[in-house]
Amino acid sequence: MLRVGMLTSGGDCQALNATMRGVAKSLYKSDKEVEITGFLNGYRGLMYEEYRVMKPSDFSGILTTGGTMLGTSRQPFKLMREPDENGMDKVEAMKSTYKKLKLDCLVVLGGNGSQKTANLLSEEGLNVIGLPKTIDNDLYGTDMTFGFQSAVDIATNAIDCIHTTAASHSRVFIVEVMGHKVGWLTLYAGLAGGADIILIPEIPYDIKKIADAIKLREAEGKRFTILAVAEGAISKEDAALSKKELKKKRLKNADRYPSISYEIGDILSQETGVEVRVTVPGHTQRGGAPNPYDRALATRLGAHGAELILNRQYGRLVVLKGTEVTDISLSESAGKLKYVDPESSLVNEARLVGISFGDK
Binding residues for Mg(2+): 112
The dihedral built from the CA positions of residue 127, 131, 133 and 139, taken in this order, carries a sign that is: positive
In angstroms, the CA 45 to CA 2 distance is: 20
Catalytic residue chosen out of the listed positions 58, 104, 136, 294: 136
List Cα–Cα distances, 221 to 166, 170, 214, 272, in angstroms.
14, 11, 11, 15
Query: Helix crossing, 16-28 with 292-310: angle to 10°?
Result: 40
- Beta bridge partners of residue 175, listed in sequence order: 228, 279
Burial class (CB in 10 A: 0-12, 13-18, 19+), 87: exposed
Binding-site members are 11, 74-75, 111-114, 134-136, 171, 178-180, 231, 277, 283-286
Active site residue 136: yes
Specify the amino acid at residue 221: G
In angstroms, the CA 72 to CA 7 distance is: 8
Spatial contact of 182 and 165, defined as CB atoms under 8 Å apart? no
Specify the amino acid at residue 214: I
Specify the amino acid at residue 85: E
List Cα–Cα distances, 111 to 132, 146, 204, 287, in angstroms.
6, 10, 25, 16
In angstroms, the CA 143 to CA 323 distance is: 9
Binding-site members for ATP are 11, 74-75, 111-114
Sheet with 128-132, side-by-side order of all strands: 51-53, 34-39, 2-8, 105-110, 128-132, 316-321, 324-329
**In sequence order, which ranges of the chain are alpha helices (DSSP H)?**
16-28, 43-47, 90-100, 112-123, 148-169, 184-193, 207-219, 236-239, 243-253, 260-272, 292-310, 330-333, 345-352
Backbone angles phi, psi at 319, to 5 degrees: -140, 165
Give the active site residues: 136
